[in-house]
Structures are given as structure tokens and as C-alpha cells.
Amino acid sequence: MNTKKVPIRERIAQSQRYIEEHLDSFVSLDLLAEQCGYSALYFHSLFTGIVGEGVKEYQRRLCLQRAANQLLFSETSIMDIALDAGYESQEGFSRAFKKRFTLSPYKFRKLQPDYSSLIGGRLMHSTAQTISSPPVTIKHCNPINVAAIRHIGPYAECGKVYPVLCNWARENGLYGTYRQVIGTSHDDPRTTPAEKLRYDGCMEIPEDFHVTGEAKKMIIQGGRYACCVHKGSYRDIPKTFVAMLSSWFPDSGEELTINPPLEVYLNCPSITAEEDLLTELRIPLA
């Protein structure tokens, strides 16, 4: 990582992304410090002060959040989930999991999945209403190179990233031509404190585009997605997400992954009537 003239907060954010992208392996404090151009002592203090927890605590929390999603939305054995989370025994994993979520992994897995928690930026409370299944198609989507602005905090406030993203696009000559705009949320509000929720507002960019400034370059994974076009207000997106998962998914024969769902905005809200807004919802499939 070239650290010249890179603001400290930006360096720490890059370290957070590196940890997120390498959850399957132990990321050492020394490696992160070296990438940032600091001593381990200084880096640890800076990381803790900006993020609110140390490097090990951050890695452990993300691994346990991923484990919680695996328990609810996959049939992976608890032992395999424990190993994925970096624990050498199921007993050690169970103790750490129960300390964080108050329930043992076995009891947590028995919870009824609350699909509304997967919908990201416009989280709605679960309702008892019966929602009919929307038209769902399965597509193979290519990877997408994007520039992303991250929001950390309550999902209800994630919309503030888009003015920042648009300004960044203008400054970099990308505004005025059609670019896919995509929203993706990474955390389950039931298992993550509101002030630590991670949301990325993304804009498609050319593969070879050099990203600088506030935005970070990312690749949204390709693969199989369950897709549905939602028409109307963004406020009602949660209802369509819940309908896909509660009405279509159980009888689909498909399996979910732990990757986040996507909201692909198909037209521009500044020049489109609210009732005519189109958003393609994509849920990644195994």
C-alpha cells in the first residue's frame, strides 16, 4: 500500500477492508501495520481509536457474525462453521458464540430466520402480513468493478453516501454517462450493533480505472443470483425482499450464501417519479 499523502482514516479503512477480504486466514497486526507504514504499536493505537476495537477484536467479531449467518441460512455443520471462524474446537467456538449472542450455536440455529434482516439500507420491521411471491428469475451475473463509498452506522442513514459518490464521480469524469449504481449491506442488524453496521454505495467503473480519493475500488462477485425487479418507492423494497425469501425461496430448491444481497438501481430518482422507480434485487445463490 502506498501510504504517501493518504489520510490516516483512509489507511485504517483500507486495513479494515483487507481484514474483511481475508477472514479465512489470520491477518497479523504486524502485516497491517507494515501496509500502513506505521509501527505495530502506533498502528494498534490508531486502529483502536478510530474503529473502536482492536484488530483481533474486529476480526473475531466479523468471523462470529459470519458464523451466525451460516447457522441461520446454511446446513453447514457447527464443527465446520467453528473451523471457518478460526476455532480449533467446537467447544471453544460455542463458548465465544454464546458470550456474544447469549445463545449456543445449536439454539441459535433453531431460530426462525428473519429474512427482513437481510434487506440492508431500508430495514423494515417484520410484519405478519402474507406477501405473495413476486416473479423471480435466476441469472448468472458477471463480476462488477465498482467504486464504493462506505457508510458505517445505522442503515437508516446510509443514503448519505450517494451525494458523496456522485461528487466523486463528477470529479473523476464519470458522471453524465450511464453507470450501474448498486447498494450492498454487509451485516445483520440482529447480530451487529447499529453503530458498526457496514453499507457500501457503489458505482460501476471500467476495469482499468484507477480509483483515488474517498472511494475504494471493489469487485462485486459474479455468479448465480435470484433476481426480481421492484417497481416503486425505495421505501417498499424491504417488502419485495421479504416476499422473495419467504414465499419463493423455501420451495425453490436453492441454497443461500453468506454474501450480501444487492440493490441495483435501474433508473435515476432525481428524474423519475417515485412510483416508476425500478430496482433489481439480487440475492446470491450457492
pLDDT for 282: 95
Kindly state whether residues 31 and 101 are assigned to the same domain.
yes
Cα 265 from Cα 197, distance rounded (Å): 21
Residue 165 lies in a domain: yes
Kindly state whether residues 104 and 151 are assigned to the same domain.
no
Cβ atoms of residues 116 and 238 within 8 Å: yes
Is the confidence at residue 92, as pLDDT, over 80? yes
Is the confidence at residue 126, as pLDDT, over 60? no
Is the confidence at residue 5, as pLDDT, over 90? no
| Residue 280 or 112, more confident | 280
One-letter amino acid at 209 equals F
Kindly state whether residues 22 and 147 are assigned to the same domain.
no
Confidence of residue 228 (pLDDT cuts 50, 70, 90): very high
Kindly state whether residues 169 and 243 are assigned to the same domain.
yes
Residue 187 lies in a domain: yes
pLDDT for 132: 58
pLDDT for 112: 58
Is the confidence at residue 118, as pLDDT, over 70? no
Print the domain residue range for 48.
Answer: 8-109
Residue 124 lies in a domain: no
- Phi and psi, residue 28, nearest 5°: -80, 150
Give the predicted TM-score (pTM) of the model: 0.72
Among 66, 92, 109, the domain-final residue is 109
Among 90, 109, 128, the domain-final residue is 109
Cα 82 from Cα 90, distance rounded (Å): 6
Kindly state whether residues 100 and 205 are assigned to the same domain.
no
Kindly state whether residues 85 and 147 are assigned to the same domain.
no
Is the confidence at residue 217, as pLDDT, over 90? yes
Tallying the residues shown for the chain, one arrives at 286
The vertex-259 CA angle with 252 and 150, nearest 5°, equals 140
Kindly state whether residues 150 and 271 are assigned to the same domain.
yes
Mean pLDDT of the residues in the chain: 85
Residue 192 lies in a domain: yes
Cell of 193: 450493533
Least confident segment among 66-75, 84-93, 117-126, 142-151: 117-126
Residue 232 zone, left/alpha/beta (φ > 0; ψ -120 to 50; rest): left
β-strand partners of 223: 141
Rounded average pLDDT over 229-233: 92
Residue 117 lies in a domain: no
The vertex-142 CA angle with 139 and 143, nearest 5°, equals 135
Residue 127 lies in a domain: no
pLDDT tens for 100-110 read 988 999 998 88
Kindly state whether residues 142 and 280 are assigned to the same domain.
yes
pLDDT for 64: 93
pLDDT for 114: 56
pLDDT for 252: 87
Among 89, 109, 129, the domain-final residue is 109
Number of domains the chain contains: 2
Kindly state whether residues 177 and 51 are assigned to the same domain.
no
| Residue 259 or 277, more confident | 277
Cα 14 from Cα 277, distance rounded (Å): 34
Element (H, E) at 184: strand 181-185
pLDDT tens for 156-183 read 888 899 999 999 999 998 877 668 999 9
CA neighbor of 67 nearest in space, from 101, 41, 36: 101
Residue 257 lies in a domain: yes
Kindly state whether residues 149 and 186 are assigned to the same domain.
yes
Question: For residue 61, what are the CA distances in angstroms to 107, 133, 187?
Answer: 19, 35, 11
Kindly state whether residues 103 and 180 are assigned to the same domain.
no
Confidence of residue 2 (pLDDT cuts 50, 70, 90): low
Kindly state whether residues 49 and 184 are assigned to the same domain.
no
Residue 42 lies in a domain: yes
What's the CATH number where 192 sits? 3.20.80.10
Rounded average pLDDT over 16-40: 88
What's the CATH number where 19 sits? 1.10.10.60
Cβ atoms of residues 68 and 82 within 8 Å: no
Q: Spell out the residues 6+ positions from residue 51 whose beta carbon is closer than 8 angstroms to its own.
A: 12, 16, 58
